[in-house]
Amino acid sequence: MSKVAIAQEKKIEDAIAKVMGCFSLEPLIFDKVVAVKANDTWASAQDKTAVTQPDSLRAMLRFIKQFHPRELVVTGGSGAGETEEIFRLAGLMDVVKEEGADFFDHNRPPFKEVPLEYAPDKDMQGPQASVVVNPRVLTYQTLMTLNQLKVHETATVTLGLKNVAMSFPAADYYGHPRGSCKHKHDFFTDMHSFIAAMAKRFPAQFAVTVGHPAMIGMGPIGGHTVETGLALASNDPVAADAVGAMLLGFTPDAVHHIWEAGRLGLGEPDLEKTEFPLLSMEEGFAAFTKAAYHKKLTLEHA
């Protein structure tokens, strides 16, 4: 049975430590090359709400460091701007330096083409047969995602699976933004199937999602942001995304890339088959809706 820990605290650092503490992480971290993929889609001096916040990144890095990784990398690849500039504007670069981690922009060359096998059945093809990435992403022994809890106008939600899938394709090859098609691709022809195929090729081993802030109404940029104090974590990123989607009001079946990831055997999207060691799904949903809409809603009709 998959496990997803949900916590709500006044300080997001406390919530992150609480949910990560529900898992035995030493085997994933000790003497491993550990990469943390934060959310770095876009930021400006006036608006930093669409990306991971510095205190969230600091809390996750500090928790990881106690298990002595051989190398700790914060890996970034903005889809709408220059990664290093976004990290600087958001205050994330300061955290990377202060915590002694390495920063790596996987949008940059060199490039390597990697095949994408959509499904075990070779006759089943996703929208993209291969993807061009920086080869360093292939060296990460443990990939951990740190995501904002947000809706997305195309992908429905933007959580752990999408955080990796739409960031690893090298933007210096495909173009800034990737939709500019410097080199042809079909990422957006069927974004959900592409996300599922990328999750199969580049699986994360651990996922943390935070509502600090959460974004509703519109997304991934420019929506209404709310501070919830919520964090969730799982060593099953599909289960984590299923729970994150449910907090935002979508059943896993309503988010096609989560459904597809489950069908491909990449994790457990069924909330009935998920264990909640801290807040229950119902308690987490009530806490989120209270913070977001000033009214506690229930899951009785979900």
pLDDT, tens digit, for every residue of 209-218?
999 999 999 9
Mean pLDDT of the chain: 95
Characterize the bridge pairing of strands 230-234 and 274-275. unpaired
- The mean pLDDT of 67-76, rounded to a whole number, is 98
- The mean pLDDT of 249-259, rounded to a whole number, is 97
Of 114, 117, 115, 156, nearest to 265 by C-alpha is 117
Residue 211 located in a structural domain: yes
Query: What does the pLDDT read at residue 65?
Result: 98
Query: What does the pLDDT read at residue 177?
Result: 77
Query: What does the pLDDT read at residue 117?
Result: 83
Query: What does the pLDDT read at residue 135?
Result: 98
Residue 41 located in a structural domain: yes
Q: Compute CA distances 191 → 11, 242, 257, whole Å.
A: 34, 17, 8
Residue 78 located in a structural domain: yes
**The one-letter amino acid at 177:** P
d(CA 79, CA 190): 17
Q: Compute CA distances 90 → 54, 57, 177, 225, whole Å.
A: 7, 11, 19, 16
Task: Tell me the chain's radius of gyration from C-alpha atoms.
Answer: 18
Q: CATH code at 38?
A: 3.40.50
d(CA 211, CA 231): 6
Of 115, 177, 106, nearest to 135 by C-alpha is 106
**The one-letter amino acid at 266:** L
Tokens of 207: 């996922």
Query: What does the pLDDT read at residue 119?
Result: 52
pTM comes to 0.96
- The mean pLDDT of 47-69, rounded to a whole number, is 98
Confidence of residue 241 (pLDDT cuts 50, 70, 90): very high
What pLDDT, in 10s, does the model give residues 166-224? 999 999 999 887 777 778 888 888 999 999 999 999 999 999 999 999 999 999 999 99
Name the domain count of the chain: 1
Q: Is the pLDDT of residue 122 over 50?
A: no
Query: What does the pLDDT read at residue 120?
Result: 47
What pLDDT, in 10s, does the model give residues 261-281? 999 999 999 999 999 999 999
**How many C-beta neighbours within 10 Å does residue 68 have?**
12
SS3 content of the chain, % helix, strand, coil (to 5): 35, 20, 45
Residue 298 located in a structural domain: no
Q: Is the pLDDT of residue 289 over 70?
A: yes
Work out the percent of the chain whose per-residue pLDDT is above 90: 88
Residue 184 located in a structural domain: yes
Residue 51 located in a structural domain: yes
- The mean pLDDT of 3-12, rounded to a whole number, is 98
Residue 301 located in a structural domain: no
Domain of residue 288 covers 2-293
Query: What does the pLDDT read at residue 211?
Result: 98
Residue 197 located in a structural domain: yes
